[in-house]
Structure 1
Amino acid sequence: VVVTRNGEAVRAALTESFDVLALQLKEIQRKKRKSKKQPGVEESTDKVGVIRKISPQESYGFIMSSDKRDIYFHENALKNLNMESLSEGDSVVFGETSGDKGPQASWVRAAG
């Protein structure tokens, strides 16, 4: 911590600085706890793809990622969507994680 002020305001500035630091540390700890609860979650930017196959009756589908890989998704991963509103060829944005049988989407939302 570097202080460039004199007088009574120094104590307030130090208190505020340490309060901000405490909030930042809590956020880091929260992120670490979250990543431990979700093993295999990749720290990356959002990915884009196209719905390749959808099976509403079985509550799952596959996304063709921009690098031409099949990414499994379950109905529970849909954000502000439902299986009936999706069609093959729809563009989506998703988060990828490693599943027991390969890559899968941890969340899926409509692109745009």
Structure 2
Amino acid sequence: MEIPLQIAFHKAEKSDWAEAEIRARVEKLQEYYGRIIGCRVTVDQRAQNVEGTMPPVVRIEISLPGAPPLVVAYEPDRLQKRFQNPDLGNAINDAFEIAERQLARVKEAREDRDKGEPHDSQKQFLGQVAQIYPNEDHGFLITKEGGTLYFHRNAMLQGDFDKLRVGDEVHYVEEIGDTGPLATKVRVASAR
């Protein structure tokens, strides 16, 4: 991390075992997602009930590059619904489990974004004009497998649709349209 881990206790007694547990859990987050810039963890005893069983709130703020901070914070009643007698250990564990899930979603979204779609040049094929109907604004290509694909005048990216002739070589991208496969992003293979 570029910014050292910050741990603060507000209205809660500072505990060596709690601080050690928080440091261990933050290290685990770093191992899972190495792009964490900084992390701040606050243990806050906001209120106490008559029995003195109100668990503290553990707030985690994780700084990531190019994104708003990832924040985990919730009210103590969440722990009281999950545990009969929740304590600081339950609060730390629960908060870091939520942080791990949120970080997993961020990591997955970034990996999906980085993968992206393959470039058109990787999906491009060489074919030939099989039939051309200039008055009807469409034609058909012979594919590399020997099948035919419909293409529309508007699919032409390079070359003049009106000058196409049967047998002309073209590069195209095959996509699925409303009625089945069709050729898009059609380019004349060689200048005439």
TM-score, normalising length: structure 2:
0.37
Q: Where do 5+ consecutive residues of structure 2 fail to align?
A: 2-36, 38-64, 67-109
Q: C-alpha displacement at 1:52, in angstroms?
A: 0.1
Cα RMSD after superposing both structures: 3.0
The number of aligned residues is 81
Asked whether the 8 Å contact 1:51–1:64 carries over to 2, the reply is yes
Give 1:1-112 correspondences, 5 Å limit: 28=113, 31=116, 45-112=123-190
CA contact (8 A) 1:75 1:82 kept: no
1:73-96 alpha-carbon deviations (Å, 9 max, x no partner): 000000122221210000010001
Q: In the alignment, residue 108 of structure 1 is paired with which amino acid? A: V
Give the Cα separation in 1 of the matches to 2:167 and 2:178: 26
Point out where structure 1 has 5 or more consecutive residues left out of the alignment.
2-13, 20-24, 33-41
CA deviations over 1:51-106 (Å, ceiling 9, x no partner): 00000000000000010111100000001222212100000100010122221012
The share of aligned pairs that are identical, in percent, is: 30
* TM-score after normalising by structure 1: 0.60
| Higher relative contact order, structure no. (Cα contacts within 8 Å, ≥ 6 residues apart) | 1
